[in-house]
Structure 1
Amino acid sequence: MIQTDILAFFQTQANPFWDGMATGITMFGEELIYILIIAVFFWGISKKKGMILAFTLLTSLFLNNLVKILVHSPRPFEVLDNINGKRLKTATGYSFPSGHTQGASSFYFTLVYLFRNRLFQLCCLVILFLVGISRLYLGVHWPLDVLGGWFLGISTAWLVASKIDRLWEDPSGLERLILILSGLTILFTAMMSFLEVFYFRGAVKTEDFFKGAGILLGCFSGFLIERRFTDFSASKGTLLQKILRIFIGISGIVLLQGGVKVLLSDAAFSHLLRYALMGLWMTLIFPWLGCKVRLFDSSPFVGEAKTQEE
């Protein structure tokens, strides 16, 4: 079988040096890097670019988690005795398509779309390619998982990023798009909740799905409310203000992610609530509080007419 042979080849190349390289590369497809880059853009450089990055990534990962549950594919180290899976703490959920690969493809291809510097674009393309290869080396995904992740990630990035970019200066059109995406997210989440309660009952790996649904719905709803009633500016402010925004904002995310988890159970709906709060913090609660203490400038609007500075 070609897939097995490819994985076996990577296993034969394994040594401490390549283990370290693969681990470092695969981290470019993980939550910490995404949060850091989105926070810098969304709170300190360009609200538009930050939101395009966030919405594209989160939509892609939500789709990824939905497909994972539908396909229900086991990971190679779970079914092949000769495959030694590494960095297994990042190998949650099912196998197809690769979440790291799809997330990285969506995220870095969106950066390619947003910035026209050829060297920067090349670096982003190399990163999204190497993240996929790292998942094969680590033995946590099949080659088809990685190919699916590349395809779905890049396709989602192109569709979502370009659509939001075109609608940014059209508040009513952008609102309609987000409401449609929110409605679809709510529909699939309701269906998955029904299945979880009456059929799955913990037997199916749904944790990542509910996390993804929660943060996507939190970001969507928070953005719609904030844009109409607060409308903070990311580009305005001193360097010190921007550094404080990023530090305080990320600290809030870390607190909600880890601290609130202690207070809630490990049930699927607890993950939904916790990640929804993280999305609301990012797009609504922190910007609103920041405007109150003058960390952000704001220019709330009423009605349909509105001009975006970013």
Structure 2
Amino acid sequence: MNWEQVLWKEYLFSNSPLEALHISFLKPLLDPLTITFHYLGSSLFFMALVSIVYLCIDRKLGIRMTLGLLLAGILNGTCKALLTSPRPIGLPYPAELGLMESSYGFPSGHVQTAVVLYGTLFLHLRIGWVRGVTGFAILFMPIARMYAGLHFLGDVIGGFLLGLFVLFGLEFWFQRDSSLLEASYQGEGPSSSRLKSYLLLLIALTFPTVLLQDVNLPESTNKSWEQVIAAAGSLAGFGIAILQNKKSGVDWKNVTGVLEFLVRIGVVILGIIVFYVAIGKLLSVLLPENPVARYLRYGIVCYYIGYLSPFLLKRIRGGTYLI
């Protein structure tokens, strides 16, 4: 066995590094942290996080984070579906911690998304405690996923590298052309017919992902394609919202008070409850595992966050809560 096989089988995709993390005196610390970080990587948490940043902290930063999250989701799900790399087996840790995953293992989605989202915050919010928290989150997420027995060392390395690729790819793109972040079009802007063409193009590029899911495919493969469909639908919904905001020249400042913060978040939470939770439950009953329903569900909720939330806030008490 040569060194490449040893590296692959004994370290990168072996249970040994995962078992080595389970040191008895660290268990009281690592168990709750690992469970916490598992849920800090959920789609609902990330939806809430980007919504808070987008509406309350920095609109431009929120756009950066949302696009990073959605592109990372598409790339991660595609890699998992195509590579079909299994997760660790024969370990008691997932059951002990009450954490289960049914999709493939490589690359780690939790790690990839943590690098993209927390990395964006680290780069653009130059506040000491924010950089400390986000830096810790980026570095500890790989450890948490291995400690939980849900990912091999190779999975988290792959997720980390792909996260860096998305993070710095977007940074490079926005350095070259930051027009998408601007509140309005520079100069005359596109005509109504051209804007409709942009919207149709965005849907045409994302909607075909609903064809990826197939009842004849293994469950784990379909789980990965479901992630791609959800991210593609979200990208369409949010992209349409940004284009409409730019057409209207909608902009706002950061929150300046507790009441203002609560009203903005309240409007977002209301939309998430209605469009993500309630409609999601309804669609799961009427159209279970339907890819078109999944695409529309995520597209609508992201359209609400991106466009309808600011639209409503601008009309509550004359826009007092979204100046």
Q: Same fold (TM over 0.5)?
A: yes
Residue of structure 2 aligned with 1:292, choices 288, 310, 315 = 315
Relative to structure 1, the CA distance from residue 126 to residue 17 in structure 2 (aligned partners, 3 Å threshold; closer, same or farther) is closer
Matches within 5 A, 1:214-233: 214-229=233-248, 231-233=250-252
Q: Is 2:204 the counterpart of 1:204?
A: no
- In the alignment, structure 2 segments of 5+ residues that lack a partner are 1-9
Contact 1:218 1:280 in 2 (8 A): yes
Q: Indicate yes or no: 2:93 matched with 1:84.
A: yes
For the aligned residue pairs, the C-alpha RMSD in angstroms reads: 3.4
The answer (yes or no) to whether the contact 2:214–2:222 under 8 Å persists in 1 is no
CA distance in 2, matches of 1:245, 1:24: 26
> What does the per-residue CA deviation read over 1:63-109, in whole Å, with 9 as the maximum and x for residues that have no partner?
11111111111211xxx224532456562422111111111110111
Distance 2:253 2:83 in 1: 40
**Partner amino acid for 1:10?**
L
Match of residue 6 from structure 1: 17
TM-score (norm 1): 0.81
Per the alignment, residue 240 of structure 1 pairs with 259
d(CA) in 2 for partners of 1:296 and 1:220? 26
Q: Residue type of the partner of 1:136?
A: M
User: Residues 248-263 of structure 1: matches in 2 within 5 Å?
Assistant: 248-263=267-282
Whether 2:133 is the aligned partner of 1:123: answer: yes
Residues 54/81 of structure 1: CA separation in 2 closer, same or farther (3 Å cut): same
Larger deviation, residues 165-174 vs 64-73: 165-174
User: Which piece of structure 1 moves more, 15-24 or 123-132?
Assistant: 15-24
Distance 1:17 1:285, change over 3 A: same
Q: Contact 1:28/1:127 (CA < 8 Å) preserved in 2?
A: no
Structure 2-normalised TM-score?
0.78
Per-residue CA deviation, residues 198-256 of structure 1 (Å, 9 max, x unaligned), is 86396732222221111121111111112212513143776423320112212311332
The equivalent residue for 1:46 is 58
8 Å Cα contact 1:41-1:50 kept in structure 2: yes
Q: 1:281 to 1:184 in 2, by over 3 A?
A: closer
- Percent of residue pairs identical: 23
Alpha carbons of structure 1 residues 44 and 119: separation in structure 2 relative to 1, 3 Å: closer
Asked if structure 2 preserves the Cα contact closer than 8 Å seen for 1:230 and 1:288, the reply is no
Which residue is equivalent to 2:116? 106
The structural deviation recorded for 1:189 is 5.0
Shift of residue 289 of structure 1? 2.0
SS of alignment partner, residue 81 of structure 1: coil
Alpha-carbon shift at residue 26 of structure 1 (Å)? 3.1
Number of equivalenced pairs: 293
* Residues 253 and 322 in structure 2, CA contact (< 8 A), matched pair in contact too: no
Higher deviation after alignment, 36-45 or 167-176: 167-176
**Residues 206 and 236, structure 2, Cα contact 8 Å, conserved in 1:** no
Query: 1:75 maps to which residue?
Result: 87
Which residue of 2 is the match for residue 140 of structure 1? 150
Q: What is the CA distance between 1:268 and its match in structure 2?
A: 2.2
